Amino acid sequence: MWAALAGAFTNSVFGILRAYVLIALWQARPGLAGYDVIDAVTFCFITQAFIGPMQLFGGGLTIPERIRTGDIALDLVRPASLQAWSLSEDLGRAAYLFLVRGVPPTIIGALVFGIVVPSGRGQWAAFAVSFALGVLVSFAWRYLVALSVCWLADDRGVATVSLVLTTFFSGMMLPLTIFPGWLGELATALPWAAMVQVPADVYLGKAGFLDAVPFQALWAAALLALGALGTQAIRHKVVIQGG
């Protein structure tokens, strides 16, 4: 509990610092990427709220440690799917961190700067669905990173690469809509955009439900399918090793 509250405080402080940077940028370039200053500030605090629930800096799963200790062998013989069991655990963690680490920074941003609030129930519902899909995409990606330990024995290198990719291509640093040319097109087509940029744009009313949700659902299905194949692969590897 105290660790989560400390995380909420840290998110709030960094959110304020990010907000001032974005305010300066949008004052210098009004209307950049179709956002005004209040949109940019809202984007800042909404994305700060995503850090905990979506575990944007990586981790959140116990699989790497269980692979290193050999406990994964017990997980693989359970009647429940390792992927489904890990997902249910991660969804519970995400719901808790959304309340404890996600809501406070947003409230502080609203009090200090003022933020955009969705105009009706339809927009709130669209955001809820998009946010849930963002959590699902995040889990599916982190699950693949966790499974890599079975072959690499150490996830630090992969985790570092994942951190860089997620931070840069999700929209966590800056809105992907300000990226120029082909880089912007590439960034908005990659799965990391489904974690942050897309649900934030749905919240702001910059992306429609029918544009955002199929994109997120496609990446969630693709990554979960890869995770299912990876689970089968590590089960085969454990059997071969006699573990």
Question: Measured between alpha carbons, how far is 63 from 71 in angstroms, rounded to an integer?
Answer: 9
* Mutual angle of helices 2-28 and 37-54, in 10-degree steps: 150
185: tokens are 């097109």
Indicate the length of the chain as a whole number. Answer: 243
Question: What pLDDT tens digit does each residue of the chain (243 aa) get?
Answer: 666 677 778 888 888 999 999 999 999 998 888 899 999 999 999 999 999 899 998 887 888 888 777 778 777 777 778 899 899 999 999 999 999 888 888 999 999 998 988 888 889 999 999 999 999 999 999 999 998 888 876 778 888 999 999 999 999 988 998 998 999 999 999 999 999 999 999 999 998 889 899 999 999 999 999 999 998 888 766 544 444
